[in-house]
Amino acid sequence: MTATASATPALENAAPASATPASATPALENAAPDSRQTSLLRFATAGSVDDGKSTLVGRLLHDTKSILADAYEAVERVTRERGGEGIDLALLTDGLRAEREQGITIDVAYRYFATPRRTFILADCPGHVQYTRNTVTGASTADALVVLVDVRTGVADQTRRHLAVAALLRVPHVIVAVNKIDLLGWERAPYDAIAADAAEHGSGLGIEVSVVPVSALLGDNVASHSRRTPWYTGPTVLELLESLPSADQIDTAHLETGENVAGWRLPVQNVLRPQGAAISDEYREYRGYAGQVSQGIIHVGDEVVVQPSGRRTAVAGLDTADGPLDSARTGQSIAVRLADDVDVARGDLLSSVPDAARAVKNIDAHVAWLADRPLRVRDRVLVQHGTALVQALVVRISGVLDISLPGGTLDSSIVHGDSLALNDIGVVSLLLASPLAIEDYSLHRRTGAFVLVDPQDGATLAAGTARAATPGTGPDGYLSI
Amino acid sequence: MRDPRMSATPTTTGLSTLEALESEGIHILREAVATARKPVILFSGGKDSVAVLHLATKAFWPGRVPIELLHVDTGHNFDEVIAFRDATVERLGLRLKVAKVQDYIDDGRLRERPDGTRNALQTVPLLGAIADGDYDVVFGGARRDEEKARAKERVVSLRDEFGAWDPRNQRPELWNLYNTRHLPGQHVRVFPLSNWTELDVWRYIDREALELPDLYYAHEREVFERDGMLLAPHPALARKESEPLKRRVVRYRTVGDASCTGAVESAAASVADVIAEVAATRITERGATRADDRASEAAMEDRKKEGYF
């Protein structure tokens, strides 16, 4: 949608000068940082239809020289065939036939671009209310969420919905891009009002927002500072994205400074026990537990608790195909050898001592319901948590989020409801068939997250984030609701 | 509360992009294999499938890769690539199944297209081999940066009884919790390189010192020009008189079906040269070298809906 037929002089001038492969322009220093050294930031975009989301994405890709000539020409050609002028940047991201025909984004498109400082994975999410489930998909892995707001309409229902999704999933950074400021003559007052409104909604939801005035169409404050907004001295959208630490970086930075000594977690994926299939005889008796560190830094020698069994042992070694390690950090895929021959299987969680995860049989959680059929009390579902999959029973639905309540917190905006429909966010209590080490999502992003799966057809039904553990531990050591 | 934005400098903590991508790929492989009844890796000898297979050797180290390999051979492949494919399988001690388009043409299940290209004919043998092998998890080297329809596909992509992808009804994919469950008759396609770019693959090939078919590096070869692409003479390609042969120094960015895969003029003779070239290119990988993706605006989407990768 957006920025289609209107002429876009700035963009036309910036179009690649050459059209043929033979006349390739000299190296684009800006487009090729070394991925062996740069860090990765995953971010998602959100916003109502017509707020200019696809144009902003197109602008970011364009201004970071990430659109190659043939892709650019294809979009230029299609724009022309449809009677438009210049280039409809939205066509770069709307990859499906139905999307281009209807001019809307239906599903998340992933884009890849880079600057000398960083590489980016961009999840370009749809704006329509009916596709909120895809926004949840895009935001679940995001280190940052860019929410577009049209300066003429301000914070809308859909903006609040997207801020609520960001709060629910604890996306570490939210950037509110107040778009189309060119249409109001680059005036400061409307921007200031929206910035204050967005900040208020954000703080109600417990998230801090960075607000930037932009014109995605003309490029102001997206990748370069605008001379037309002298009253804005903050960073551009791209500068923010380049400098924000990722969720993993925040986690490991805390650990390295010793400021917040949270423990480490590793869900066990497979038991590596090659025997006759070992790549060489020396590994015939090898026994290691494969997994990706979901939080923290593991050191050889660390004491370990295996959940849910609660057995204790120590880390005897950390292995990779490239050789042993002394330590492994968030995001690394490794194999762990343990000092004792304890029973460990896929689905178990290895956890540090003394701040080990605890296994629970009852959980309270926020659930974003993503399926067409509703969720009701007494429904049977599967909980996929880390590498574990267990049966569960929905014992209570205590409320549904009403995003129309201004300035509310996630909790205060929960109103009464006893079922969840598509795109609802609600508070649900689950009884698990066997214990799982599910933790408070606000403290442990990976071990607090789960998805609900339909036991009959295997469909993914919901995104779940466990809430703060209810006080009162039952006699069996499990938390009670 | 302190502002976390002030706390970390992006380049000093955490993993590098390439480390993060490798680790994610290993995680995806391990998850899908752990939940699979019978997994298979599509392996053609091309750079992306070489990267996937290498990730698998790391994911299941110190054991052998516990997955069979499958190649759909159009019959128009480059001999060098087939030789490389077989040598790799031999070196790693793995099992390779080959589904041949020619067999399907010979027994009448497929008909040759008038233009002689066979890339689009791969879908039927692919689905036949998946059914015959009783595979439920099929790994491929597809990347989202390749093409705009691929940019939309999940890491774990559910396919129905016809192998078809329904882009309007994809499963939500949340965090790193991949859902590979499916009903009998369905299967899932899994793409461990979803988040890699062409440049990432080349940097990984460099870092891991991976062998590739020589076609990927500059060499002199007889080619002719068609639709702006440089095609090598091949029995399956009827060359017109207006398309004279000329000797050029070229390399291939992809090594698919020889009847529709073009070469690019290039002096990049080493991995380092290729990285420099890919970093500076103005043309996408498929736009430069794949005739079938140029057929229409939605060519890839349409083929994927039929069960293509």
Smallest CA–CA separation between B145 and chain A, in Å? Answer: 7
Nearest CA in chain B to A457: B183
A233 vs A103, higher pLDDT = A233
Q: How far apart are CA B123 and CA B309, in angstroms?
A: 8
Q: How far apart are CA B19 and CA B21, in angstroms?
A: 5
Q: How far apart are CA A441 and CA A446, in angstroms?
A: 7
For residue B265, the surrounding DSSP H or E stretch is: strand B263-265
pLDDT surpassing 80 at residue A95: no
Please list, in sequence order, all residues whose beta carbon lies within 8 angstroms of the beta carbon of residue A342, skipping any fewer than 6 positions away.
Answer: A306, A309, A311, A313
pLDDT of residue A461: 97
pLDDT surpassing 50 at residue A416: yes
Beta carbons of A95 and B301 less than 8 angstroms apart: yes
Q: What is the CA angle A221-A223-A227, rounded to 5? A: 40
Q: Which of A127-141, A230-244, A421-435 has the lowest mean pLDDT?
A: A127-141
Q: How far is CA B298 from CA A36, A64, A272, B51, B154, in A?
A: 34, 26, 43, 27, 18
> Once rounded to an integer, what is the mean pLDDT over residues A35-55?
82
Residues from chain A that touch B23, judged by Cβ atoms under 8 A, are: 292, 331-333
A466 by Cβ neighbours in 10 Å (0-12 / 13-18 / 19+) ranks as buried
Q: What is the DSSP letter of B266?
A: -
To which CATH superfamily is domain A360-467 assigned?
Translation factors (2.40.30.10)
Confidence of residue B305 (pLDDT cuts 50, 70, 90): low
Confidence of residue B181 (pLDDT cuts 50, 70, 90): very high
pLDDT of residue B104: 94
Q: How far is CA B161 from the centre of its chain?
A: 22
Per-residue pLDDT tens digits for A368-405: 999 999 999 999 999 999 999 999 999 999 999 887 76
User: In this predicted complex, what is the ipTM?
Assistant: 0.89
Residues from chain B that touch A322, judged by Cβ atoms under 8 A, are: 58
pLDDT of residue B127: 94
pLDDT surpassing 70 at residue A341: yes
Q: What are phi and psi of A381, to 5 degrees?
A: -135, 170
- Alpha helical stretches, state H, A205-299: 237-243, 247-257
pLDDT of residue B304: 66
Positive or negative CA dihedral for B236, B240, B245, B251? negative
Question: First CA to last CA across chain B, in angstroms?
Answer: 48
Q: And the tokens for A459?
A: 């469909």
CATH number for A265-352: choose from 3.40.50.800, 3.40.1350.10, 2.40.30.10, 3.20.20.70: 2.40.30.10
Domain boundaries, chain A: 40-244, 265-352, 360-467
> Once rounded to an integer, what is the mean pLDDT over residues B18-38?
97
Q: Which of residues 359-378 of A touch B (CB under 8 A)?
A: 370
pLDDT surpassing 90 at residue A102: no
This prediction has a pTM of 0.89
Residues from chain A that touch B5, judged by Cβ atoms under 8 A, are: 173, 243-245
- Which 3-state string (H, E, C) describes A55-107? HHHHHHHHHCCCCCHHHHHHHHHHHHHCCCCCCCCHHHHCCCHHHHHHCCCCC
Q: Which of A175-179, A260-264, A276-280 has the lowest mean pLDDT?
A: A260-264
pLDDT of residue A12: 33
Give the pairing type, strands A173-179 and A209-213: parallel
Q: How far apart are CA A32 and CA A82, in angstroms?
A: 33
**Identical topology for domains A265-352 and A360-467:** yes
Q: What is the CA angle B127-B133-B135, rounded to 5? A: 75
pLDDT of residue A262: 64
- Alpha helical stretches, state H, chain B: 17-35, 47-59, 79-92, 101-106, 123-133, 198-207, 271-280, 285-289, 299-305
Helix axes B198-207, B17-35, angle to 10 degrees: 90
Give the three-state DSSP class for A224.
strand
Residues from chain A that touch B199, judged by Cβ atoms under 8 A, are: 32, 35
Q: And the tokens for A193?
A: 């009002």
Asked if A102 reaches chain B (Cβ–Cβ under 8 Å), the answer is no
Mean pLDDT over the full length of chain A: 84
pLDDT of residue B286: 62
Q: How many inter-chain contacts (A to B, CB under 8 Å) are there?
A: 271
Nearest residue, CB atoms, B30 vs list A27, A100, A269: A269
CATH fold for domain A40-244: Rossmann fold (3.40.50)
Q: How far apart are CA A380 and CA A395, in angstroms?
A: 10
Q: What is the DSSP letter of B215?
A: G
pLDDT surpassing 80 at residue A29: no
pLDDT of residue B217: 97
Q: What are phi and psi of A266, to 5 degrees?
A: -145, 110
Of residues B119, B304, B283, the one with CA closest to residue A74: B283
Query: What percent of chain B is modeled with pLDDT above 70?
Result: 88
Beta carbons of A149 and A176 less than 8 angstroms apart: yes
Q: How far apart are CA A15 and CA A316, in angstroms?
A: 57
